[in-house]
Every structure is written in structure tokens, then in C-alpha cells.
Amino acid sequence: MTKYLSAKIGPSILNANLAQLYEESQKLLDNGADYLHLDVMDGHFVPNLSFGHPIVKCLRSKIKDAFFETHMMVSNPEQWIEPMADANVNQYTFHVEPVEDVPLICRKIKEAGMKVGVALKPGTPVDVTTDYVDLADMILIMTVEPGFGGQKLMEPMLQKVTWLRENYPELDIEVDGGVGPTTIEACAKAGANMIVAGTAVINSTDQAKVITTLRDTVNCYLGENKSK
């Protein structure tokens, strides 16, 4: 059975006012966000610190039904699988770079009841995914170096998206970093269907309009691919 992909827009709350995390998150959902992308940083795998599972759990207590994806920019992703499952996270996305046994982490995430996201930094070749793509629900291609918001999209990274889409036409492919109204067409054309946008949405005076623009652009290209 053919799986029809759809555009999903998941704003990153990294650049939101974290003192009003619930209000900011609810506003994004009210303005049409399909899911929330929660950036978890350990100060080791990336230089910055953000927030951990206690914050995610508090947010979940206020927002019962939204799809939560935690983007685990951490050196030991295995350590946080159970805590994030306890916080009712829907998808646990981890980086392959610090991990020796990626399939093992994928299986542990599944066993904990979450979907599996596998993330690649810009310097990581895309073909490493062939060993575990069948265990992942989604592949995240970082289009900036992880750890900081507000960076410019690295256009060559979209070649990885194109390669994945050609080889795995039914795979959910996410892009994260420098994505907004001016860069969305290139991302959509490459084949991304899950879009993380931070500052472009958070800092907009019309969040709903930006989210709609991102979604419509992606769905336009997905429609073209379906008809081929």
C-alpha cells in the first residue's frame, strides 16, 4: 500500500520566550502548527544548554494532545529515552554521531513507545542511513550546525534530502535550520515534508500566515511527486 506523505510544520520553540513556554507553544498550535519541535541540548554534544525532560513533562501536562518531537542534541541519547517516554513524548529524534550502535537506540525508543527520528549533522554523509533507515520513522537532515537558532540554511545539505527522497520515496524527511518563507521552496523541491522553522515563525507578526505558506509550498511539491 502506498503511503501518501503530507506536509507537517513543526515550529522550534528554542527562540520563544521560555518564561512563557506554555503560552508560546499553545499560540503556535492555535496558529496551525502540526507538531512542536523541542530542542534538548546538553552543553556537551552542542555548546548550548536548553531544557530537559522536567520542562517537557510540565509542558505536556498543559498541552495534552499535540505531537511532541524532542530533538536530542545530546552525547548520550540512550540516557534520556525513558524520561522522555515518561513525559509522553511522541517522537524521539537523536543524532547518530555520538552513538556506536544506532539500531539498538532505535529499538529502545520503539520499546519505550515512541517514534524514532534519526538526525544527521551537516558533516555526516547521508548514506550512513542505509544501515538503519528501516528502523526509523523519520530522518532529520540538519541544514545548519546544531545548537543555535537563527542560522542561515546550508543549501548543499538539500542534496542529502534529494538522495533520501529518491531512495526512500515514502520516508518522512525533516529539515531543520534556516528554514522560512525564503528558503522553503528549495527544501520542498528537494523532497522534505516535515519542516522545522524557528525564528521565521516565532518572530513573525503573523505566525498563521507563515505556517500556511510553508505548508502550501511543501504540499505543492508533494503533489507533483505523486503525479509522476
Q: Which residues are catalytic?
A: 39, 176
| 70 φ, ψ (degrees, to nearest 5) | -95, 125
> Which three cell numbers, joined as nine digits, stand for 215?
505548508
Nearest to 173 by CA among 185, 187, 154, 186: 187
DSSP at 49: B
Counting beta carbons within 10 angstroms of the beta carbon of residue 12, is it exposed (0 to 12), middle (13 to 18) or buried (19 or more)? buried
Q: What's the CA gap between 214 and 182, in Å, rounded?
A: 10
Q: What's the CA gap between 36 and 54, in Å, rounded?
A: 16
> Which three cell numbers, joined as nine digits, stand for 72?
536530542
Q: What's the CA gap between 109 and 170, in Å, rounded?
A: 21
